[in-house]
A and B are shown apart, each in its own frame.
Chain A
Amino acid sequence: MVILFVFLDNLFSLGYSIIVVWCFFAMAIFDVVKKELIDREVLIEKENELKLVTSALLSRGHVLMEGVPGVAKTYTSKALAKLLGLSFKRVQMTPDLLPSDIIGYYVYDQRSGGFVLRKGPIFTNILLVDEINRASPRTQSALLEAMQERQVTIEGELYKLEEPFMVIATQNPVEMEGVFPLPEAQLDRFLIKVVTGYTSTKGLVKIMKNADEIEEAIESLKPVIAHNEVLEEIRKVRYVRIDESLYSYIASIVEETRRHAAVRLGASPRAAIALVKMAKAWAYTSSRDYVIPDDVKAVAQPVLMHRIIVKPELELQGVTPDKVVEDVLSRIPVPKP
């Protein structure tokens, strides 16, 4: 009787585990995105970038994309928004752009005889802010406040932004004239920084051959996940398990960035939180409900890179934040046993 009970108990627990795991990954968001965009070659050689942006979305974070013009930054954001059934808007930043141009303003309506709210492009799910460093500091501040608070205040009235809300800001690393570089405090608001590079020769040939088809494919993309399902995915990521030792591992990495000889300003506690969130989201997009040290390492560069300021004299010698992070990762021991 006891044996039968134990057998049934094991069977049920195993079955329960299978059901839980199946439920957990039945709607694995990245698998869908990958299948539609990468496997169908709508986006070529952008799997890592796409996975990072998806993870940032699931972590309720914002993305700073750095790359020269013409490396599919807009396409990536647009395609992701369309696939996930989310609203998408784009703002091209210029120095004369006002905060009200982004968040919205009240206008007098002659028919009603009162003021009506004209919402700005910030009232969307995914907002692509092109060349964020071209906007004036005032406009940048208004945007970054909205990013942090997930709400805007217009004429004293508070408006909550719709979830999910993600800003994908781009900046050109080459142009330095007529720009207002983002201060460190504002850079810290971005969960990750994704550096988008050029594709390989093979990839470039594919892009040239299918340029028209790619454009059509992006325009004709249909949502594969409903809006509420995305919110459910975001909720699930919070329950991804992370071992106690990995918290210590992340803490060691963050602290080491502050102690590093080449660093003037290291990663903040917000960076540590971002690292935990992103590691969880990365594990989730890798179809796992638990974080492993590889997840932490995979997201450490994008999370920490823009939060570290290298000493100017060493910067001149070619030391970059990504090299610092690489060095830190090569020194911090992975949890044992």
Chain B
Amino acid sequence: MRKVALFSLLTLLLTMGMLITAVSSEVDRHTPGFPQSVESLQLPAILPVNLSDVEKAILELSKQGVLSEEDAAKLKGFSNLSLQDAVTRIGNTELRNSLLNLSNKDVLSPDDVEAFLNYLSSLKTSGALNPVDELLALRALELLAKANQSPYTSRILLTMLSVLKDLETQKSGNLTTFFKGSLQSPAEKVFQSFPTLPLPLLQLPTAPQLRLSLPKIPYSVLIIAGICCFSTIALLFGKRLAAHFSKKLNIRSIERMQTLKVGDRFLEAYWLSVHIVSTISGVKKVDSETHREYLARVCQRLGPGVADLFRDITTAYEEYRYGFRAEAGQRVLNGFGKLMEHARAST
């Protein structure tokens, strides 16, 4: 029985292990520090940032005095500026010429946009570009990109916000309530993830976290595993516990039992003795079994004291029952009394 229980426990553990392995196969299998997939390297196709957000930010900065009146005037009606107006308002001649050259192109390729953004970056790094000119140049570029249906529109808008953020940071030293309040949560996240340096403005993927948590196991698996564990424990130890309690109950029930309805107290004493030893040993008497056959079988499971006692009872019972010796009846009764005492003491 124990071997069977251990075997079932091992089978259970193996099954659980296989299930856990199957579930944990969904865990990311990538080197920490690298993006999880190629998709994450691409810019988000749609960002919840539009031109009105940029204009709102400009107005807010103007109110806070981050932008001078002259700069605010240049950026007035930012969202409604035409390409010509935007280019006209740019103070940097070189930049203005570059934009005009760009606008003269029939088709604006992604490489052209990329090259212009790099050009803006280089100008900014060299200090030859002020933020207002940069914003206007970006507005003009955005108009050109939109006209050519370039996917770079969103990136340009984000760059605009980045410029405004840098402007505010330079003036106030920290982020103002505007960026916390006016920008919506997804945009804010993107914004906050920007590097301190203005360019390149590629959204860096967030560093993948090392997951040390256990894989998710379905509830059904947990319930089945629980039932199996309980059954195994019950199989291993339950029988012993149950046998112990049932033994106590059975022996107490004998004490309460009035008679076995045999009509002979000596015969009753023998059959009650059979009941006691079968309770103690867990070996039940089969109907087709003779008294000696049962004695031989049950003695293998009884202690030497009880076995000798039951042997005497059986012999006396045979003498009384089949040998018609009345004096043997008393021996059955005495043996039964001793057996009861032993049973009470042992339980």
Contacts and interface: CB of A to CB of B under 8 A. Distances in A.
A112 to B, nearest CB: 59
A294 B293 contact: yes
Interface string A319-337: 0000000000111111011
B328 to A, nearest CB: 11
Interface stretch (A36-44, A125-133, A283-291): A283-291
A243 B325 contact: no
A292 B292 contact: yes
A77 B287 CA distance: 38
Given A337-B267, A337-B270, A241 B287 contact: no
Contact of B325 (A17, A293, A294, A333): A17
B288 A241 contact: no
Which of B264, B290, B318, B324 counts the most A-chain CB atoms under 10 A from its CB? B290
Interface in A18-41: none
Contacts of A225: none
Contact of B322 (A17, A291, A331): A291
Nearest to B262: A337
Interface in A50-66: none
B291 A293 contact: yes
Interface string B300-327: 0000000000000000001101111101
Interface in A222-278: 241, 243, 246
Interface residues of B, number: 22
B260 interface: yes
Contacts, number: 50
Given A294-B290, A337-B262, A241 B322 contact: yes
A247 to B, nearest CB: 12
- What is the interface residue range for chain A against chain B? 20 to 34
A246 B327 CA distance: 22
A243 B327 CA distance: 18
A241 B324 contact: yes
Given A290-B322, A292-B318, A331 B327 contact: no
Contacts of B341: none
Contacts of B321: 243, 337
B194 interface: no
B271 interface: yes
A204 interface: no
Contact of B288 (A246, A290, A292, A334): A334
A11 interface: no
Contact of B290 (A288, A289, A290, A292): A292
A154 interface: no
B288 to A, nearest CB: 5
B289 interface: yes
A30 B270 CA distance: 31
Contacts of B318: 290, 292
A294 to B, nearest CB: 5
Contacts of A297: 290, 293
A337 B274 CA distance: 11
Interface string B261-284: 010100110110000000000000
Interface of A: 14, 17, 241, 243, 246, 288-294, 297, 329-334, 336-337
15 contacts: A241-B324, A288-B323, A290-B322, A290-B323, A290-B324, A291-B322, A292-B322, A293-B290, A294-B290, A294-B293, A331-B288, A334-B288, A334-B290, A337-B268, A337-B270
Given A290-B319, A292-B291, A333-B288, 17 more contacts: A241-B322, A241-B323, A243-B321, A288-B323, A290-B318, A290-B323, A293-B290, A293-B291, A294-B292, A294-B293, A329-B288, A330-B288, A333-B287, A334-B287, A334-B290, A336-B287, A337-B321
